[in-house]
Each structure stands twice: as structure tokens, then as C-alpha cells.
Copies of this chain bind each other. A is one copy, B any other.
Amino acid sequence: MIRKICVAITARPSYSRIRSVLSAIAAHPDLELQLVVTASALLDRYGNAVDVIEREGFRVDRRIYNILEGENLVTSAKSTGFGLAEMATTLADLKPDAMVTVADRFETIANAVAAAFLNIPLVHVQGGEVTGSIDEKVRHAVTKLADLHLVASERAAERVIRMGERPETVFVTGCPSIDVAKAAIDDPRLPDDLFARYGGVGPVFDLAGGYLVVMQHPVTTEYGAARDQIEETLWAVADLGLPTLWFWPNVDAGADAVSKGIRIFREHHALPAVHFFKNMPPEQFIRLCYHARAIIGNSSVAIRECAYLGVPAVNIGSRQSGRDRAANVVDVSHHRDAIKDAIHRQWAAGRLAPDLLYGDGESAGRIAGILASVPLTFEKRLCY
């Protein structure tokens, strides 16, 4: 019997993380892939992941627009509610044998609730980690709704089990985002026409001279501070004047503040060495990280993929606090001088040896194998 596996993609970075798994599911003889694209993955100003997905050869079964304008706490909650309602209709129509949800973005709890309420076995990828922000609540709530846990590391597995999940439902697969990282550096060449191909605004420069990658998201539980926080990073980068590739943030409460912070800073201050990108295929983004002297901001890529890549990272503020770290990460607070110092040191540090903390680059095959073979159930009970 072919098992129908429904995967919900809600954002550009989530697609990046799960893409190798999509390919492995599609290629597996006993699995059939159903793809539902929702939330910011449908939106032009967050990188239009849906177009990337189709261009890369996947069929999109359904699209659900559910992100309300406003980018504040109220609209995050309402968007999740509307997403839940329509995901229920969609799952009732697609009738998958299991639903896969990835990580911990706020809107993913909609997918988890929909599957749980429809008695569809729920598979959670990347549970058991510890971070800051609303992601922390969402991630563990999804664990309690999920029936199968495919985690990145032994420590994550241990946490999921301590939360009361049955050990036989927890599998250490490694994080599929490391698969992308591995594939990218198996062929680390960047396209010659990188700037032309991916547009953006700002100067074009020779990447061979060394450069920074910056990606900083708002922290939803520090909602009001997003504007100040981005400005500290902007000042640090402006002062250093190093060649920099800056990527726009995800849609989240506060993203408007971050975007506005960047726009207004640009209007009043020269950033002669900074090029801003809106989106890029994940493997290109990873290659750019791989060749970077350092990655700056609060993206999980700095903690996870860059552990494997060995790229020095400056992690700013609380968004990734609690997350397990390899030796590539230096943590700093939201102060421009601290940020500058840390960038300075990491720029000089040089690439480290790979750390397999988050996976070995082979998780997709493991995940597809598990999805094809383990018992799929939707009944569970606290294990103590």
C-alpha cells in the first residue's frame, strides 16, 4: 500500500529545510507526496517560495492564503486561525495517511491542530530543541500534538522523550537542512552572474574578497524592540564597511518594523558595501554562507547549517538562546559595539571543521524510510 504523505510548506526557510525530504518522499516507491503551500510561502515579498517549489519540479496540490496584513501579534494569531480552518478542509479532501510539519514557525501549529483533530497521524520534524521566542511554545505544543518525532540530535530525542513521548515514536534522523548544506558544498561553485540573477539592491562586488552574510528576524516576544534591534546591527555593519550580503526577514509580528528600520536607515545613511537580497534558492544561499567569512544576525542557519559548514557566526540577541551550539557561534547582545567586536573576531577566525551536531547530511533518506515503514497511529498518552 502506497502511503500518502502530506507536507505543508509555510515559508521560504521551511522549504529550504525540508526540500531534501520532499525529493526522497517523491522518489520512494511506497510513498506519494502531497504538497500544500500556505502562509508566507505564497507571498512575493517573502520570496515567493511557491514559484521556487514548482520550478524545482514539485507539484503543488493546494494553496492556502492565510496571512493577514498588519504583521503584529493579533494578525499572527488570526492568520493561524484562518490557516487552521482551511487546512482542515484541505486535509479532509486530500486524505493523507500522515501529515508532516516542520520545526516551529508560529503558523505551523495550525497544521498540527488540523491533523490532530482529523485523526491524521502527525509527523514532527525538528522537535525537542530549545530556543527563545514564541517558537519555543509552538515547538513543544506541536510535539504534544504529534505522533511521530523525527529529531535532529540525540539531545533533542532525549528532551522529547522526557516530555512524555513514547521512545519508540522518536527517531534521530538528523536535520534535513544539513542535507541541503552537504549537497551545496559537494558542489560549492557559485554562479558567475549571482547579482544579476537574484537582483536585489545595492553594490555589486567580487565575492572572492571575503564578505559577511546578514539575516536578522524580529523576536515576537520582544515585539516592540524590533526596530531598535535592527538599527544596532545596521550601525555595526555600516561602521565596519565590510562587503555584506543582507537578506530580508521572514513574515512575523515585527517584520514590518524590521523592514521599515532597514528602509529608513538606508534613506539616511550610506551603506556603500551592503547588497540587499529578497530571496534565493536555498542551495545558493547555503553556498553563499559557506564562502562567507562570517554570518551575522539571529537566523537558525547560523547555528545549524553553519555548524556543519564550519562558518563562524555572530548570533545577536535572544532568538536562538537555548539552542544547542557548536564552536562556530559567538553570542552577543543588541549593542552595536559588541556586534562590531564579534564580527571583527569572526571575520578573522577562518572556517572550522564540520560539526555533526545537527546531522550528517543524510537525513532525507532516513526520514522517507521511516515514513514508509513505521506504524502510523493517532492515539497516544503521556508516558508517565
Indicate if A67 sits at the interface (CB-CB under 8 A).
Answer: yes
**Contact across chains for A117 and B113 when beta carbons are under 8 A apart:** no
Known: A65-B74, A69-B251. A384 touches B159 (CB 8 A): yes
**Contact across chains for B89 and A85 when beta carbons are under 8 A apart:** no
The residue in A65, A159, A163, A164 that gathers the most chain B C-beta atoms within 10 A of its C-beta is A65
Indicate if A221 sits at the interface (CB-CB under 8 A).
Answer: yes
Indicate if A345 sits at the interface (CB-CB under 8 A).
Answer: no
Indicate if A88 sits at the interface (CB-CB under 8 A).
Answer: yes
A164 in complex: contacting residue of B73, B76, B77, B163, CB < 8 Å: B163
Known: A144-B140, A159-B384. A78 touches B85 (CB 8 A): yes
A88 vs B64: C-alpha distance when bound (angstroms): 10
A359 vs B84: C-alpha distance when bound (angstroms): 36
In the complex, per-residue mask of A131-168: 1 if CB is within 8 Å of any chain B CB, else 0 = 11010111011111100000000000001001110000
In the complex, per-residue mask of A151-193: 1 if CB is within 8 Å of any chain B CB, else 0 = 0000000010011100000000000000000000000000000
**Contact across chains for B378 and A113 when beta carbons are under 8 A apart:** no
The residue in A43, A77, A138, A164 that gathers the most chain B C-beta atoms within 10 A of its C-beta is A77
Q: Which residues of B contact A138 (CB under 8 A)?
A: 116
Q: Which residues of B contact A206 (CB under 8 A)?
A: none
A381 in complex: contacting residue of B81, B136, B164, CB < 8 Å: B136
The residue in A40, A75, A138 that gathers the most chain B C-beta atoms within 10 A of its C-beta is A75
Identity of the chain B residue whose Cβ is nearest the Cβ of A92 in the assembled complex: B74
A252 vs B341: C-alpha distance when bound (angstroms): 46
Q: A348 CB to closest chain B CB, in angstroms?
A: 33
**Contact across chains for B382 and A136 when beta carbons are under 8 A apart:** yes
Indicate if A119 sits at the interface (CB-CB under 8 A).
Answer: yes
**Contact across chains for A66 and B68 when beta carbons are under 8 A apart:** yes
Instruction: Give the dominant DSSP class at A's interface.
Output: helix
A143 vs B144: C-alpha distance when bound (angstroms): 9
**Contact across chains for A84 and B86 when beta carbons are under 8 A apart:** no
Q: Which residues of B contact A201 (CB under 8 A)?
A: 267
A162 vs B221: C-alpha distance when bound (angstroms): 25
Q: A188 CB to closest chain B CB, in angstroms?
A: 31
A251 vs B70: C-alpha distance when bound (angstroms): 12
Indicate if A246 sits at the interface (CB-CB under 8 A).
Answer: no
Indicate if A380 sits at the interface (CB-CB under 8 A).
Answer: yes
**Contact across chains for A89 and B116 when beta carbons are under 8 A apart:** no
A124 vs B138: C-alpha distance when bound (angstroms): 16
Indicate if A265 sits at the interface (CB-CB under 8 A).
Answer: no
A113 in complex: contacting residue of B77, B116, B119, B164, CB < 8 Å: B77
**Contact across chains for A43 and B70 when beta carbons are under 8 A apart:** yes
Known: A117-B73, A322-B381. A64 touches B80 (CB 8 A): no
Q: Which residues of B contact A267 (CB under 8 A)?
A: 201
8 sampled A-B residue pairs with Cβ under 8 A: A43-B69, A43-B70, A44-B256, A73-B118, A77-B84, A116-B134, A117-B220, A162-B163
Across the A-B interface, give the 7 residue pairs with the lowest CB-CB distance, nearest first: A81-B85, A81-B84, A77-B88, A77-B117, A140-B144, A141-B144, A141-B141
Apart from A44-B256, A65-B75, A78-B89, what are 18 other A-B pairs with CB-CB below 8 Å?
A43-B69, A44-B260, A45-B69, A63-B92, A63-B93, A65-B68, A73-B117, A74-B92, A81-B81, A113-B113, A130-B382, A136-B380, A137-B380, A140-B164, A141-B141, A141-B142, A143-B144, A162-B163
